[in-house]
Amino acid sequence: MADIVNLRTARKHKARAEKAATAEANRVKHGTSSKTRKLVADKKALDRHRLDGKKLED
């Protein structure tokens, strides 16, 4: 005998799974973590500071 399934609940679970899959794909496609963004920004600032320190004149 088959299990009884509440179709409304099954549709909600399916929608949540699809939404989670889409969100994961978007995170991979577009996102970087805030820690990585900060690390890159700090490195750029440090490089810019070092380059400005080596200028001979303004």
Residue 5: what residue type? V
pLDDT score for 37 = 86
Rounded (to 5) percent helix, strand, coil in the chain: 75, 0, 25
* Total tally of structural domains belonging to the chain: 1
Task: Pick the range with the lowest mean pLDDT from 15-19, 29-33, 52-56.
Answer: 29-33
Residue 47 falls inside a structural domain: yes
Q: Range of 30's domain?
A: 7-53
Asked if the structure places residue 34 within a domain, the reply is yes
Above 80 in pLDDT, residue 53?
yes
Return the pLDDT at 20: 97
Has residue 58 been placed in a domain?
A: no
pLDDT for res 8: 97
- Rounded mean pLDDT of 13-33? 92
* 32, pLDDT greater than 90: no
Mean pLDDT of 43-53: 95
